[in-house]
Amino acid sequence: MRLGVLETGKVDEALVERHGQYPGMFARLFQAIDPSITVSAFEVLNGEFPASVTECDAWVLTGSPRSVYEDLPWISQLKDFLRRARAEGVPIVGICFGHQIMAEAFGGKVEKSSKGWGLGVQEYEILPDAPEWMAGAPERVAFRVVHQDQVKKIPADANCHATSPFCEYAVLSYGDREMPDAISIQAHPEFDASFVRDLIERAKGMRFPEPESEAGLASLEQEAKGVEFARWAVAWLKRALAKQSEPETAA
């Protein structure tokens, strides 16, 4: 399976040597579930888009310091790309900014949250009747987070699978619950604790307010289960791609 990582942001240059860039993080995350998965990267934030929505087997959208409601050419272009990819039946996985831009592209609404920044580790409730691709999901699961914007209104055909008091729409799928067209998560399953710690420390008192930064740093002592989302995503991707290869039934 070839995953195309659509880079909507870059790791701070001061942190690259220690942590690498986002495509490498996603490669480690998904290859922990299936070592045969390969990753190709496209810097869409710099206008580098794939030649076709079918160039890769599936698409993964990264996080970004930008907001999806900003009037930037590449953001508008990316929304169009996502709508075309979905129409062509190419699976899409969104992370943080990716979660938000998918919601906007498909008819939802994203806003800057009055609750402030979510930093560190947060726990989410898995809602009842989880689909088969989330089989074995615990009742509650913790993920690492770095976000202020949130999805405030979900598209008409979206399904919510996880929630918290801080973030109502934490995990979404689009279309049929059991065989959706796309899935996304507000959290960062690809981030390890050391990266989030360095990220918060670097922006503490500047981009991130001191109180939220300190609370976020303290929360990093809690175990997070990014691999749990990777397990869901790979299970869904394999089902979606297998369905694509099924022969069409004659009318």
> How far is it, in rounded angstroms, from Cα 219 to Cα 239?
35
In the numeric block, the tokens 């075309």 are attached to 84
Catalytic, out of 96, 104, 167, 228: 96
Contact 54, 94 (CB under 8 A): no
Secondary structure string (H, E, C) spanning 151-185: EEECCCCEEEEEECCCCCCCEEEEECCCCEEEEEE
Phi, psi of 25, rounded to the nearest 5 degrees: -65, -40
> How far is it, in rounded angstroms, from Cα 50 to Cα 58?
12
Catalytic, out of 99, 147, 161, 188: 188
Whether 188 is catalytic: yes
Task: Please list the alpha-helical segments (H only) found in 55-192.
Answer: 73-87, 97-105
In the numeric block, the tokens 């991707």 are attached to 237
Catalytic, out of 56, 104, 147, 190: 190
Whether 221 is catalytic: no
Whether 139 is catalytic: no
Active site residues: 96, 188, 190
